[in-house]
Amino acid sequence: MSESEVDLQSEKYEKHREAGEILAQVREETVERVEVGASHLEVAEYAEDRVRELGGEPAFPVNISVDHEAAHATPSIGDETTFGEEMINVDIGVHVDGWLADTAITVDLSGNPELTEASEQALEAALDVIEPGVDTGEIGAEIEDVIDGYGFNPVVNLTGHGLGHWEQHTDPNIPNRAVSQGATLEVGDVVAIEPFATDGGGKVTEGASEEIFALEREGKIRNRDARKALEQITDEFRTLPFATRWLETDRPEIALRRLKRNDIVHGYPVLQEDEGCLVSQKEHTLIVTEDGCEVTTN
């Protein structure tokens, strides 16, 4: 798409901006509630409810990833987990009529400020090189250089990503390391850049826990509870991720098992480094402009 074909004041971009403005406020309010002894569930529900109060909708369940966890951890129904002296990544998404913003921040209660600083500074370095025509491999190189400079490793199998209409992850991928051939950013691209830094090996694997799901395909199901859950999913969440605790049907866990067994929904297992390692994360959403970028989640 050429620069002349992009109207960055169109309704689409205004809704991306509105989502980002809501998200920035909710992120700051949520961070203030993350402290030793606070409830994971109460913090997540506060953020999700606040998004709705401000005129948006959650684009995905609030992720609360602790210590070696990197992504896809969210409280379960009735979760009684509380924060300890840990490293906590809080990842929040907002959409306005399907146009998204995505942000994340690390709250360090573990006493490892340099690891938190590594992902923060890597994001700043990445933002500095954003402009039309930049190769995403160059962005990854900036992220990798900063994190390496702190003596840590980037998580290489997690990436930033594009944001589409009702799509949380689209092209282009934004790597967290140098790659020889990436994609080229263009004016009007909406992307989320999210460096992950770790004192581990730099590759996450899937854990056993799974509380986040998304619609895989349309389908029919006989079970009443599963059918009610599917109606809510298709009407309310569409293709965006949702949490088990969001479902209004009886026995939602059983309903989801039935839907998953029939390949109607898929799950997102928690992604994690090795036990005993720590992961930090910082993320912003931006719009590529003619002279650089506009961060929507500041």
Q: Which residues are annotated as a binding site?
A: 72, 91, 102, 161, 169, 194, 283
Is 194 catalytic? The answer is yes
Annotated binding site for a divalent metal cation: which residue ranges? 91, 102, 161, 194, 283
Choose the catalytic residue: 117, 211, 225, 283.
Answer: 283
Strands 196-198 and 279-281: antiparallel
Residues counted in the chain? 298
CA atoms within 13 A on the CB side of 132: 10
- Helices 252-261 and 224-232 sit at what angle, rounded to 10 degrees? 90
Q: Considering 40, 68, 95, 161, which one is annotated as catalytic?
A: 161
For residue 148, indicate whether it is catalytic.
no
169 is catalytic: yes
Which one of 91, 108, 117, 294 is the catalytic residue? 91
The answer to whether the CB of 256 falls within 8 A of the CB of 213 is yes
Beta-bridge mates of residue 213:
242, 267
67 catalytic per annotation: no
Q: 21, 189, 194, 273: which one is catalytic? A: 194
Active-site residue, selected from the candidate residues 124, 169, 216, 266: 169
Among all chains, which residue has been given the structure tokens 């509105």? Answer: 18
CA distances from 127 to 8, 23, 43, 181, 245 (A): 19, 19, 29, 19, 35
**Catalytic residue flag (residue 68):** no
Choosing from 102, 108, 138, 189, the catalytic residue is 102
Residues at the binding site for substrate are 72, 169
Catalytic residues: 91, 102, 161, 169, 194, 283
